[in-house]
């Protein structure tokens, strides 16, 4: 292929791609797009903290005192705020220690790549997030076993297979590690990993466990402490990955676990060693969010009240909202063109709710994914529900 053909092919791909809307406001209950307000039904700022005045104040004060820049954590980039944030997150999550990174994607990559070698064994739910899939690829592990979504019978079969593979020692003579990896909340359907059963099987077959709690932070458990707290499994899940860009409304990701594991990540993780530390602004915001959630569960309760109301009303109208157990509310369409048209008509009415189509979900499983927020009032939700009702009838999704 010539260089001209290479760039020509790229151009064709770009033309067929989706161009995102440009937002000219904060990420609150409403977004301003092209000068018009749109009900925000598709961002994952679950607790409405993106515009919180307490966080703004904490960020401004920290930046005024320390500036913005950091650096490599292992050189001149470890700031006192990073240490305080790691201690706060560990306390909040009920874990021994935390490592703070610049994103949840990097956290998943670090969590897996750092401890898994080519000769180890990873067992993964088939619907795990792309960052987990890429992390497994990055580790170059040869024995990658997949089990059907949430199917504990098949997970046990994969564990039996893994135990057989363990009989072949690694080049250094040691026994291969078995790691079970799962999302906590699955972002397209909103269903939960059966973590108690996974932990039970892991103990029986001597496997490590890892859960990506991106959509559980600030949502599940006491005061939003996540899926491990939700199931009261503290100290029984080896690796817990969190993403700060969802409910916390801040850039960053983190891993919690036993102190010896976290210390190992800080010494060996390439994502930690060869990347800048979190900015002063983001780190100050993390500290303030933890403080807010430790002081009150008011926002978490409001989120769940809004979720229950929205889902109940949509079901009353006849919409199929899937099997979600969380605020993630899929309104199932099936046909991809229908989902896209539905989203366009909602947008014209003032509701921003994106279509989710292949490859984000399987063909024939297209949907509009709604994520309510603690920032929404009942009036906001009623406007969204009324809009869904009108478009649903127009497109004959409901009668």
Q: How many CB atoms lie within 10 A of CB 326?
A: 23
Q: How many CB atoms lie within 10 A of CB 126?
A: 12
The strand pair at 30-33 and 253-257 is best described as unpaired
Q: Does the annotation count 215 as an active-site position?
A: yes
Do 111 and 102 touch, CB atoms closer than 8 A? no
CA of 122: how far to CAs of 42, 57, 79, 161, 303, in Å? 32, 44, 35, 11, 35
CA distance 335 to 178: 39
User: Which strands make up the sheet holding 366-370, listed edge to edge?
Assistant: 329-334, 366-370, 355-356
- Nearest to residue 391, comparing CAs of 329, 334, 346, 336? 346
Q: Does the annotation count 230 as an active-site position?
A: no
CA distance 383 to 375: 14
Annotated catalytic residue within 38, 129, 215, 365: 215
Annotated catalytic residue within 129, 246, 266, 302: 246
Annotated catalytic residue within 131, 187, 373, 387: 187
Backbone angles phi, psi at 349, to 5 degrees: -85, -5
CA distance 74 to 60: 26
The angle at the Cα of 289, spanning 284 to 295, to the nearest 5 degrees, equals: 130
Beta bridge partners of 125: 147
Q: Does the annotation count 269 as an active-site position?
A: no
CA distance 340 to 130: 22
Catalytic positions, please?
Answer: 187, 215, 246
């Amino acid at each position: 292929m010539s260089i001209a053909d290479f760039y020509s092919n790229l151009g064709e791909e770009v033309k067929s791609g989706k161009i995102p809307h440009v937002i000219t406001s904060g990420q609150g209950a409403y977004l301003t797009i092209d000068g018009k307000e749109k009900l925000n039904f598709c961002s994952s700022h679950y607790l409405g903290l993106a515009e919180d005045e307490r966080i703004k104040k904490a960020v401004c004060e920290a930046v005024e005192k320390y500036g913005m820049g950091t650096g490599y954590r292992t050189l001149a980039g470890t700031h006192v705020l990073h240490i305080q944030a790691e201690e706060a997150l560990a306390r909040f999550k009920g874990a021994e220690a935390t490592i703070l990174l610049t994103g949840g994607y990097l956290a998943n990559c670090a969590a897996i790549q750092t401890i898994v070698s080519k000769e180890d064994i990873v067992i993964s739910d088939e619907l795990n997030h792309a960052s987990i899939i890429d992390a497994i690829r990055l580790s170059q592990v040869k024995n990658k076993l997949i089990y059907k979504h949430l199917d504990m019978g098949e997970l046990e079969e994969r564990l039996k297979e893994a135990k057989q593979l363990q009989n072949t020692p690694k080049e250094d003579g040691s026994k291969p590690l078995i790691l079970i990896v799962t999302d906590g909340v699955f972002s397209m359907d909103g269903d939960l990993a059966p973590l108690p059963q996974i932990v039970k099987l892991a103990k029986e077959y001597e496997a490590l466990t890892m859960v990506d709690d991106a959509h559980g932070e600030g949502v599940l458990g006491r005061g939003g402490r996540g899926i491990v707290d939700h199931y009261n499994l503290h100290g029984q899940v080896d690796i817990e990955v969190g993403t700060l860009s969802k409910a916390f409304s801040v850039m960053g990701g983190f891993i919690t676990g036993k102190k010896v594991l976290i210390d190992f990540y800080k010494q060996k993780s390439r994502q930690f060693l060869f990347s800048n530390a979190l900015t002063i602004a983001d780190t100050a915001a993390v500290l303030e969010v933890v403080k807010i959630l430790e002081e009150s569960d008011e926002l978490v309760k409001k989120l769940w009240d809004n979720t229950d109301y929205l889902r109940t009303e949509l079901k009353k109208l006849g919409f199929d909202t899937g099997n979600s157990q969380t605020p993630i509310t899929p309104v199932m369409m099936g046909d991809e063109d229908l989902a896209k048209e539905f989203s366009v008509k909602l947008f014209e009415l003032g509701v921003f709710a994106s279509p989710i189509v292949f490859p984000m979900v399987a063909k024939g499983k297209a949907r509009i994914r709604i994520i309510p927020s603690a920032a929404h009032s009942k009036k906001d939700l009623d406007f969204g529900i009324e809009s869904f009702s009108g478009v649903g009838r127009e497109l004959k999704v409901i009668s």
